[in-house]
Chain A
Amino acid sequence: QQPVQSPQAVILREGEDAVINCSSSKALYSVHWYRQKHGEAPVFLMILLKGGEQKGHEKISASFNEKKQQSSLYLTASQLSYSGTYFCGTELLSGGGADGLTFGKGTHLIIQP
Chain B
Amino acid sequence: ETGVTQTPRHLVMGMTNKKSLKCEQHLGHNAMYWYKQSAKKPLELMFVYNFKEQTENNSVPSRFSPECPNSSHLFLHLHTLQPEDSALYLCASSRGPSGGKLFFGSGTQLSVL
Contacts of B98 in A (CB 8 A): 29-30, 91, 95-98
Q: Chain B nearest CB: distance from A46 CB in Å?
A: 8
Q: Which interface residue of A34, A42, A43 has the most chain B CB atoms within 10 A? A: A42
- Chain B residue at minimum C-beta to C-beta distance from A87: B43
Q: Interface segment, B13-21, B66-74, B79-87, B102-110?
A: B102-110
Q: Which interface residue of A29, A44, A96 has the most chain B CB atoms within 10 A? A: A44
Which one, B42, B99, B102, contacts A97 given CB within 8 A? B99
Contacts of B112 in A (CB 8 A): none
Q: Chain B nearest CB: distance from A28 CB in Å?
A: 11
How far does the alpha carbon of A47 sit from the alpha carbon of B95 in the complex, in Å?
14
Q: Which interface residue of B44, B55, B101 has the most chain A CB atoms within 10 A? A: B101
Q: Is the interface of B mostly helix, strand, loop or mixed?
A: loop
How far does the alpha carbon of A16 sit from the alpha carbon of B33 in the complex, in Å?
36
How far does the alpha carbon of A63 sit from the alpha carbon of B102 in the complex, in Å?
19
Q: Which interface residue of A43, A49, A100 has the most chain B CB atoms within 10 A? A: A100
- Whether B101 lies near A44 (C-beta < 8 A) is yes
Contacts of A89 in B (CB 8 A): 43, 102
Query: Which residues from chain A sit less than 8 Å from chain B, CB to CB?
Result: 2, 29-30, 32, 34, 40-44, 47, 49, 87, 89, 91, 95-106
Would you list 24 pairs from A and B whose C-beta atoms are within 8 A, ordered by A residue? A30-B98, A32-B101, A41-B90, A42-B104, A43-B2, A44-B101, A47-B99, A87-B42, A89-B43, A89-B102, A95-B98, A97-B97, A97-B98, A97-B99, A99-B56, A100-B48, A100-B56, A100-B58, A101-B45, A103-B35, A103-B43, A103-B45, A104-B42, A106-B42
Q: Which 4 A-B pairs give the minimum distances between C-beta atoms? A: A97-B98, A41-B104, A103-B43, A98-B97
Query: Which residues from chain B sit less than 8 Å from chain A, CB to CB?
Result: 2, 33, 35, 41-45, 48, 50, 55-56, 58, 90, 97-99, 101-107
